[in-house]
Chain A
Amino acid sequence: MARRLPLIALGAALVPVLLVLGPILATALHGGGLTALRGSDLQALWFTLWQAALSALISCALAVPLARALARRRFVGRTVLITALGAPFILPVIAAILGLLAVFGRSGLLNQALGGIGLPTLTIYGPHGVILAHVFFNLPLATRMVLQGWQSIPAERLRLAATLDFDGAAMWRHLERPMLRATLPGAFVAIFLVCLGSFAVALTLGGGPSATTVELAIYQAFRFDYDTGRAASLALVQVALCLMAVGIGAKLSAPAAFGAGLDRPALFAPSTRLAQWADAAIIAASALFLLLPIALILWRGLPALATMPPMVWQAALTSLTIALGSTALTLTLAMTLALHAPRHRWTEGAAMLPLAASGLVLGTGLFLMIQPFAAPTSLLIPVTLVVNATLSLPFVTRLLLPEIHALQADYDRLATSLDMGGMAKMRFLTLPRLARPLGFSAGLACAFSMGDLGVITLFSDGQTRTLPLAIFQLMGSYRLDQAAAAATLLLTLTFGLFALFDRIGHHAGPR
């Protein structure tokens, strides 16, 4: 096949590239050029790097046994649980912090229990608290990525393994290790980059300014020092880190190359009682860790649900509109980029770039770019839609990539021999085989857009507001109960959409 430059992929790649680099350039120009970093910025950089690396490492390490347990066991409510475990990833940050504190805080359940039996209490505030919160947020993402890997091992390979009487070590060597080699580096890079942009979580749970991240340094450059040049420099540092991480991740990952199967139900060899109990314990502990804080958020919000001002419902409608539109856009861009990624590595880099984007620089830069041509407030909804779509692009692409690698390796020759191409290939081969990751991706993109405060504070016209902005406004005017209720509404709606798309994908999948 000729290695022509695919124009359509180039067009799709331009969206994230322009949206990330354009605002940095505009911000730098506004500040009269880039400004040098300071000593405190380098400290922030160091803290950001190590907490992100450790958070990603722990999330991935915990995701492997959890995903394995979920892949091996069948129990009532399993699919519901798998969907529910995705919830932390889609929580609005402030709600998640208060939920975590309800469990791990000074007056949280854990310390009440410890105090009740006479043990010394624990404090969550410090670097360990930051990492705990990041694992809480990102373990679901890592688990789903790895679980997808397990589910993509063809049943025939598992049967063969059972026939050959593989022990644990042999399973590991021939099936699990190659599968993890294909999925883990990508999951690590994605989580590392999410944690790189951490701001409120890091500061609040970090307990003080020693937990300063690059994003907070950017905030300081804008708000305290009025130095947009330095903000742009810091944003560029984030982009450089992102590209390096993606490069290293791509080097480390290798396709699993199991070959195509016949989509028969997976069959894991019967395991020992001990292994069964271990899996049950892992699943139960993870469910408790991930779902208890969420249950407490819902519990706190429910009583005030009826007292919410009408504006909250209106905001919910706006958020839904934006979320559905941005999901469609994300999927289109991600499919275009991911389908070209195996032959053109640069599309992957372009798709991951938005992970490095600083929300503040993005909003400010876009404002500066739009302002000469139109009133930014009149473009509030389209801008939010496109920004949200771009911000979820990395996750969706990351989820699709391993599947597309496998798909092209397993079926492209067959499709070519059948002279199947264009729309027919898309309809009968690509879309059905990608249904599962596409459904999950759509759910994720939708949830992401629902929960994102995004660029709205600079573009807001005072009347149109999204649900996260409404929560922010309620909290800012002492109405914390109503804010909690609005957060419950946000969580319910978001999770509903996420579950809906996830189930559609599950049912449409061939397996």
Chain B
Amino acid sequence: MRRSLIGLAFLAGMATTAQAEDTPVLTVYAPDYFTSEWGPGPQIEKGFEAQCGCDLQFVAGDVLSRIMLEGKNTKADVVIGLNTDQTARARKTGLFAPSNEDNSRLTLPIKWTDDTFVPFNWSETAFIYDKTKLKNPPKSFDDLLNAPDDLKIAIQDPRSSVSGLALLLWVKAVYGDKAPEAWAKLKPKVLTVTPGWSESYGLFTDGEVDMVLSYTTSPAYHIIAENDDTKAAAIFPEGHYFMAELVAQLKSSKHPELAQDFMDYVLSDDFQGMIATANWSYPAIIKDGFLPEQFADLPRPAKTIFYSEDEAEALRQPALDEWLAAFR
């Protein structure tokens, strides 16, 4: 009984990794959400395979951890879905090759000069609220800090979450040396801190908190996919912190030309035109028709904040210490 079950399990595992023999295989590491039916993975695979004469295979999971554990032996040709806070660590591995892409084509709200990691979509951190429940949302970060303490928000832990770390840098950028005071004011409004974004967002949609730390593009999902225009991002004049997802190719790739083709494909009209609704964020290159109307109508912050890799790296630990001190 047991043996046959394990055999069955093996078969199930083998079947999914079976592949055609002649066509070259391009292996792309991507985050978990990428390869699900509603993620951008299937569309990307279809689009790229139509032009490359190859077999694109995604391997989904914790991308950077996997690359770092595998080191030089990695099977990956390309890595997609790294975050802006991971570039320093990724660069230090020395595993990545130059992108050979022309950054001047990008239409980001910040200047992008990286020659290795190429952003393919972006957004900014923001607090999301329900318009029907919160009639007078904070108009600025100061407003949020000075709001009555019964306004409850959920944030993410910077030690375990990308968006939580972005909030640390956001507060540091807006308040600088006054960051500890800002945290002290924010603390009574923080109902709870969750390990990741999903738990926080679940608390928000279940009505447990009034506002949640998420992204300026979050309302787009509700408006377009759910026909629900009650969710909105509170836009602050102090600025919002920029976050992008990145793609890069590996030096060790067995198919460097295919890898480069894929990098080019990521910035092609085909890819950039579909990423908005596939990943619920802004494409790295915006042209006419790339954004659905409701998406284009989302309110935009006047100012976008972003620390360079080195600045962010230097600020990370002191900012975390301030945060921990305020919340203890």
Residues of A whose CB lies within 8 Å of any CB of B are: 30, 40, 94, 97-98, 101-102, 105-108, 125, 199-200, 203-210, 216, 219-220, 222-224, 226, 309-311, 318, 321-322, 324-325, 328-329, 332, 364, 367-368, 371-372, 375, 377-382, 385, 457-465, 469-470, 472-480
Contacts and interface: CB of A to CB of B under 8 A. Distances in A.
Given A199-B195, A381-B12, A382-B10, A478 B218 contact: yes
B16 A224 contact: no
Contact of A325 (B9, B34, B57, B58): B9
A200 B199 contact: yes
B13 A94 contact: no
A378 B218 contact: no
A209 B193 contact: yes
A223 B30 CA distance: 17
Interface size range on B against A: 35 or more
Interface stretch (B61-69, B116-124, B234-242, B297-305): B61-69
B39 interface: yes
A382 B2 CA distance: 12
Tell me which of A105, A222, A462 has the highest count of chain B C-beta atoms within 10 A of its own C-beta.
A462
Contacts of A210: 327-328
Contacts, number: 189
Given A381-B12, A473-B33, A224 B320 contact: yes
Interface stretch (B135-143, B169-177, B204-212): B204-212
B6 A209 contact: no
B163 to A, nearest CB: 12
Contact of B73 (A224, A371, A382, A463): A371
B107 interface: no
A472 B192 contact: no
Contacts of A480: 201-202, 205
B202 A382 contact: no
B65 A473 contact: no
Contacts of B225: 478
Contacts of A461: 16-17, 59-60
A245 B316 CA distance: 37
B280 interface: yes
B40 to A, nearest CB: 10
6 contacts: A204-B195, A209-B328, A311-B36, A371-B69, A457-B32, A460-B60
Contacts of A203: 157, 193-195
B5 A324 contact: yes
Contacts of A473: 32-33, 36, 39
A498 B29 CA distance: 36
B197 interface: yes
B66 A458 contact: yes
B6 A476 contact: no
A320 to B, nearest CB: 10
